[in-house]
Structures are given as C-alpha cells and as structure tokens.
Amino acid sequence: MMTHSPTDRSFTLTRILAASRQAVFTAWTDPEHLGWFHNPEMPMPAEPIEVDLRVGGTWKQQMIVNEELSYPTGGIYLEIVPDERLVFRWGAVGGWPELGGGNDMTAPVVTVQLNDLGRDTELVLTVRFSEDLDIEEVQKLMLGGAREGWAATIDRVKDSSAQ
C-alpha cells in the first residue's frame, strides 16, 4: 500500500526499459505506437489516436477501463525535447481529467524524462498536481489510484518500446 503525506502534490515513477530513448519517445508520441496505453484486457477502441506533436498541440485517445467506463484522455504538450523529454497537461476535453471550460490550470502536469543508459533507457514519470487545486482534491486523486493507474500504464510501454 502506498502512503501519501497530506501535503503531497506529486509522485514520481521510474522504469528501466530495454530500448533506446528514440524508441521510447516514439512509443509516447507516434499514434501508430501508442496502442500500449490502452487497457490490454479490453478491446482496442474504435476511435483513432490523435497526436499533434508540437508545443500547444494535443494528444488524445480513448481509454477503456472496463465495459462500463470509457473516456478520452491525453494531454496538451507544454515542452517537447525529442528523444529526451515530454511535458504535458494531462487530460482531454470531454474526458478525464477534464480539460477546457477554464479549468486547464488545475489539470495535472506530467513530465516524461528519458535518460540514456547505453542499451537501455530510464523512464522517469512525474505527475504534479496544480497548486490551484484544493489539497483535499489532490489527496482524493492520489488515494483514488492515480499513482497505481500510471504505474500500470507505464509498465505496458516496456513491450511497445522494445519492438
């Protein structure tokens, strides 16, 4: 069980991947390679994955959690350093977390840092919840499975990036 301080506003997850930084970056940014993000226990969504890889551009894809829960997710790119770093405001219009309607500044910011380890890549993912978001809401998200969900999701990138 994970413990969280009542003042935690972020968490960091680290994985070592048997792939180059370029392959891992491609897995995060190329619609043809982003299928790993989906729940493997559910059918692939019919909606296409959309990526506009530029600062201010968006990434959007359908997340199917189970037969009753499906929603768009993705992000708005804030920083892109090819093969090294991605920073995006996590969410989607009409999705989860909700982006748009003036609440963009409360959306979590995700940083994906790729460090070269020779033949392998260290992936360091940090999710930071906004100072504009009430701490009780942050704790609700943290205790509600945000960390565990991201951990399960980035564990799936291992298979995709190794191809």
DSSP 90-120: E-BTTSSSB--TT-GGGS-EEEEEEEEETTE
Phi, psi at 107, each rounded to 5°:
-70, 145
Render pLDDT for 81-114 as a digit per residue (tens, 0 to 9).
999 999 999 988 888 788 877 777 788 999 999 9
**Order of strands across the sheet with 50-51?**
10-17, 120-128, 109-117, 85-90, 70-81, 58-64, 50-51
CA–CA gap between residue 97 and residue 107 (Å, rounded): 7
Mean residue pLDDT of the chain comes to 88
Domain locations in the chain? 10-161
Q: Give residue-wise pLDDT tens across range 59-79.
A: 999 988 888 888 899 999 999
**32: buried, middle or exposed (CB in 10 Å: 19+, 13-18, 0-12)?**
exposed
pLDDT (tens digit per residue) in 3-23: 555 568 999 999 999 999 999
| Cα 133–chain centre separation | 19
Q: Which distant-in-sequence residues (6+ apart) come within 8 Å of 149 by Cβ?
A: none
pTM for the predicted model, two decimal places: 0.88
Give the DSSP H or E segment for 156: helix 146-161
CATH class name, domain 10-161: alpha beta
The pair of structure tokens assigned to 87 is 């920073």
Backbone angles phi, psi at 134, to 5 degrees: -55, 135
